């Protein structure tokens, strides 16, 4: 019987990838962010998950505006990262878990979601940077991956409620998976940041604190704002919190926050890393 061991939520700024490539983890600018991963490394060493289900957004590597899926679920045996246009490359290939992917697809369609399914898919820094953060210094990733991409690029974006419900549906799929894999769920991106417009550089510490305060015990508090409310509060890229909301939705049983690290700024971003331990819901 499979088990969801927990959730890892983290920013995925490309600059973090550059900092890793240049070995800047202890540099005074970067250290307060990287230090947030010590509890994550301990957790992963202890729990040894086999599979990571990752909610992230593509920034124009795999998906373009010609075909822009609201939700896309990878079902490939392998995923690769490629040049995103500014030279960040060299990420190791990612092994897929296609049987689990199709099991998830079956469940979410049964639950009346309409995902795009991808048997060939590139994954960008939104997935690769968190993998480097979670599993530094490995020759090959110790987990297989199911990537789930949420459109945070072209409005209308899915609502926070819809993303949470998608997470709930994926969680049901993981609960009913007959395999004995240990599964960790990742939600990547955020927190508040804005790259475009005359409000570029916008950061909202109060909204970020609100998210961090409620993520573990009252995630539905995050659903009170609609997508454009979140754009206004958290910035046009801060809306990547949708990935966190979906990932949190998968954790249907009791959770406990093991660690939370919030650091502003990294690049233009208010960064955060949260680790939630998850226990299976007990059927009544």
Partner 1 sequence: MKSSGTRREIPGTPVFDGRAAQLGYPLNAMCYSFNEAANREAFRADEEAYMERFGLTEAQRDAVRRRDVLGMIAEGGNVYYLAKLAGIFGLNVQDLGSMQTGLPVEDFKAALLAHGVTERRIAA
Q: CB of residue 197 vs partner 1: minimum separation in angstroms?
A: 5
Residue 158 CA: distances (Å) to CA of 42, 91, 207, 235, 245? 34, 29, 20, 16, 11
| Cα dihedral 112, 76, 187, 47 sign | positive
Q: Among residues 12, 81, 103, 193, which one is catalytic?
A: 193
Q: What distance in Å separates the CA atoms of residue 232 and residue 204, rounded to the nearest whole number?
A: 10
Q: Of residues 59, 81, 125, 263, which has the active-site annotation? A: 125
Least distance to partner 1 from the beta carbon of 187, Å? 18
Question: Cβ closer to partner 1: 78 or 257?
Answer: 257
Minimum Å gap between C-beta 257 and partner 1 is 6
Neighbours of 116 (CB within 10 A): 16
Nearer to partner 1, 146 or 231 (CB): 231
Instruction: Give the three-class secondary structure for 11.
Output: coil
Strand order in the sheet with 269-278: 116-118, 71-74, 144-150, 51-56, 182-188, 3-10, 269-278
Nearer to partner 1, 140 or 198 (CB): 198
> Residue numbers of the site for partner 1 (CB under 8 A)?
15, 32, 35-36, 39, 59-61, 64-66, 82-87, 153-156, 194-203, 205, 209, 228, 231-232, 235-237, 256-265, 267-268, 270
Pairing of strands 3-10, 182-188: parallel
Say how far apart CA 249 and CA 164 lie, in whole Å.
Answer: 5
Cβ-contact 56, 243 below 8 angstroms: yes
Q: Mark whether 125 is an active-site residue.
A: yes
Shortest CB 74 distance to partner 1, Å: 19
Our CB check for partner 1 shows the closer of 82 and 220 to be: 82
* 225 annotated active-site: no
Q: In this complex, which beta carbon is closest to partner 1, that of residue 81 or of residue 144?
A: 81
Q: How far apart are the C-alpha atoms of 48 and 235, rounded to whole Å?
A: 35
Question: Residue 6 Cβ, how far from partner 1 at the closest point, in Å?
Answer: 12
By annotation, the residues acting in catalysis are 125, 193
């Amino acid at each position: 019987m499979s088990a969801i061991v927990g959730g890892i939520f983290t920013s995925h700024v490309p600059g973090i990838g550059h900092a890793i490539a240049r070995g800047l983890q202890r540099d005074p600018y970067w250290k307060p962010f990287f230090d947030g991963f010590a509890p994550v490394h301990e957790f992963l060493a202890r729990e040894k998950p086999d599979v990571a289900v990752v909610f992230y957004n593509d920034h124009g590597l795999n998906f373009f505006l010609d075909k822009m899926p609201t939700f896309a679920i990878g079902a490939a045996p392998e995923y690769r990262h490629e040049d995103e246009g500014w030279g960040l490359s060299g990420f190791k290939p990612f092994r897929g878990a296609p049987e689990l992917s199709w099991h998830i697809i079956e469940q979410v369609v049964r639950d009346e979601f309409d995902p795009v399914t991808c048997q060939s898919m590139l994954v960008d820094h939104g997935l690769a940077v968190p993998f480097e953060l979670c599993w530094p210094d490995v020759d090959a990733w110790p987990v297989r991956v199911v990537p789930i991409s949420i459109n945070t690029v072209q409005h209308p974006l899915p609502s926070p409620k819809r993303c949470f419900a998608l997470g709930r549906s994926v969680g049901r799929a993981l609960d009913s998976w007959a395999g004995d894999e240990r599964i960790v769920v990742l939600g990547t991106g955020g927190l508040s940041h804005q790259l475009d417009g005359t409000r570029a550089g916008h950061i909202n510490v109060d909204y970020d604190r609100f998210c961090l305060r409620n993520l573990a015990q009252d995630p539905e508090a995050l659903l009170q704002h609609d997508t454009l409310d979140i754009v206004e509060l958290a910035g046009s890229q801060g809306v990547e919190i949708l990935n966190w909301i979906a990932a949190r939705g998968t954790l249907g049983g009791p959770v406990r926050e093991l660690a939370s690290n919030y650091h502003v700024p990294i690049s233009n971003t208010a960064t955060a890393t949260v680790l939630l331990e998850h226990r299976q819901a007990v059927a009544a």
